[in-house]
Amino acid sequence: MQTKPFRIGTRGSPLALAQAYETRDRLMAAHGLPEALFEVVVLSTQGDRITDRPLSEIGGKGLFTEELEQQLLSGDLDFAVHSSKDMPTKLPEGLVLSAYLPREDVRDAFIGATAPRLTELPHGATVGSSSLRRQALIRRLRPDINVITFRGLVDTRLRKLAEGQVDATLLAYAGLKRLGKQDVPTELLDPKDFPPAPAQGAICIESRIGDDRINGLLEAINDRATFDAVSCERAFLGALDGSCRTPIAGYARCDGDKLTFSGMILTPDGARFHEIETGGARSDAVAVGRTAGEAIRAKAGPDFFASWS
């Protein structure tokens, strides 16, 4: 019988905490366990501490996970909760993404101060975003717009917008919903025109390979459709060596035992892009994503990726 609390690792941002508490609450409900049997352990990561430079300049996505993963490997944490799109495609040896919560809305949210829609912004307007994918997609749709790097917590970015530092910003709608800020967006962008990042809207749980006690606990809250879809998207990303340095979009959807996938790669200026549509059996989700990544890489040719380095 479990007497010692399960230790849940998380970053300390309001969004990260909301995700950790949602995971805890789902585990409590699934197993009939009291809150006292779960301890949320907050760790500061390099990605949280360095906010004045783009992630692409300081090391990429791993900056949000390294400290958590070290404590997972040492046994100080039982499992860690992450935003799936923050996860590098290669995990440290011995760790695995063992479960995903049901996926939230994948769309990007446009929040405009001078116009309610991206297409209605005045010529030469300034938009702030920390995502190279969003920056490239904005430039693809509106090459006249000035796009600047815009990092920080959700409330920090909204404050900068309110202060007039930019005319608009974009955030993941899933995160806004989890923070109770679903009324903030002035426009929700159609994934057909503005495709999401691979794994956007999904909360994942990382644990140790072979830890049957913890992985059995987590299996009860694993959403299989999200697991398959995000596994496909991460395989696409991995085939392209995707990181915060690269503008990549990808979105998989499950329908019965089938899966469909759409992906896009862009140059950072948004001027050139390649798209792919494919699908297959959900049981082959990883292979579908990897094959799509290899196909779009071959289609684009080596010169296309020179701008990514």
What angle in degrees, to the nearest 10, is found between the helix axes of 14-31 and 154-162? 140
If one counts every other C-beta atom within 10 angstroms of the C-beta of residue 62, the result is 20
Q: Compute the distance between CA of residue 212 and CA of residue 73 in angstroms, rounded to an integer.
A: 15
Q: Compute the distance between CA of residue 104 and CA of residue 269 in angstroms, rounded to an integer.
A: 29
- Half-sphere CA count of 269, side-chain side, radius 13 A: 8
Q: Which two tokens stand for residue 40?
A: 């949320």
Distance of alpha carbon 129 from the chain centroid: 14
Q: Which two tokens stand for residue 139?
A: 């430039």
- Helices marked H in the chain: 14-31, 46-49, 55-58, 66-74, 132-141, 154-162, 173-178, 212-219, 224-239, 285-300
Q: Which two tokens stand for residue 144?
A: 């006249």
The catalytic site residues sit at 86
Helix (H, G, I), strand (E, B) or coil at 43: coil
With tokens 């890489």, the residue in question is 297
Q: What is the DSSP letter of 306?
A: G
Q: Compute the distance between CA of residue 62 and CA of residue 74 in angstroms, rounded to an integer.
A: 18
Residue 80 phi, psi (nearest 5): -130, 145
Q: What is the CA radius of gyration of the chain?
A: 19
Closest CA to 42 of 6, 83, 9: 9
Helices and strands counted in the chain (H then E): 10, 13
CB 106 within 8 A of CB 201: yes
